[in-house]
Structure 1
Amino acid sequence: MNWHPIGDISDIPLRGSRCVKTPHMNIAIFRTSENEVYAIENRCPHKGGPLSEGIVHGNAVTCPLHNWVISLETGKALGADDGAVCTIPLRNEGGALYIALESLVMAAE
């Protein structure tokens, strides 16, 4: 797999996020209160809201537009809502973060 550096875990506040723009899609990188880090497509499956601007709680994020809750682990909408976003493989090597670029190409096709 081709791993692309995207920064350091310290660049993302606890229960916060940052957005990484790629030629294929915008990726939201989330850091939970437990220091877990996830990468998902930065577009809610409901109406395309920017998930990187949502509220992180546990291993989920709530979309800022219509309160859909998205699992950071699976990318699936939780509760009664139905839909999903792409999850992107992410590596944390001593705080240095990397995403797998090949998965972005496959997800965009």
Structure 2
Amino acid sequence: MSNWIDIAALEDIPPRGARVVKTRLGCVAVFRTGDDKVFAIDDACPHKKGPLSEGIVHGNAVTCPLHNWVIDLETGMAQGADQGRAKTYEIRVEQGRILLDGARLLARSAA
């Protein structure tokens, strides 16, 4: 069962921008694309743990600010087939509010 957490208004994140949600299990980066799609992934690049929330958003991807790795925001996959993956989280927008799936966030501690 999902436990949706209201984390922000869509307008709180600029187009092609990001915000960080701090949890007791780590930080989650929430991204807004230029066409208002919203994605949530771990705020750590699978390469050297660079802060993805500080990267450049382009299309449905973000480029890590440390070593320019490109991470797909939908899948968390790094550019190239076997270069790593950032964990993704279910997220949705309802009535202008961004909601993060809290049940999935808690499940990350069991992995």
Shift of 1:80: 6.2
90-99 or 78-87: bigger deviation: 78-87
What does residue 37 of structure 2 align with?
36
Structure 1's unaligned 5+ residue stretches are: none
SS of the equivalent of 1:13 reads coil
Are the structure 2 counterparts of residues 64 and 4 from structure 1 closer, same or farther at C-alpha, using a change threshold of 3 Å?
Answer: same
SS of alignment partner, residue 65 of structure 1 = coil
CA distance in 1, matches of 2:69, 2:82: 7
In 2, Cα distance between equivalents of 1:97 and 1:87 = 15
Structure 2 match to 1:102: 103
Query: 2:50 matched to which residue of 1?
Result: 49
Q: Following the alignment from structure 1 to structure 2, what is the Cα–Cα distance between the partners of residues 80 and 4?
A: 32
Q: Which residue does the alignment assign to 2:24?
A: 23
Task: Give the percent of matched residue pairs that are identical in Structure 1 and Structure 2.
Answer: 54
TM, length-normalised to structure 2: 0.94
Give the C-alpha shift of residue 108 in structure 1.
Answer: 2.5
Q: RMSD value over aligned CA atoms?
A: 1.1
User: Structure 2: which amino acid aligns with 1:101?
Assistant: G
Moved over 2 A (4+): none
Query: What runs of 5+ residues in structure 2 fail to find an aligned partner?
Result: none
Matching of residue 67 in structure 1 with residue 94 in structure 2: no
Query: How many residues in Structure 1 have an aligned counterpart in Structure 2?
Result: 109
What is aligned with 1:12? 13
C-alpha displacement of 1:81: 6.0
In 2: Cα distance, 1:60 partner to 1:108 partner? 25
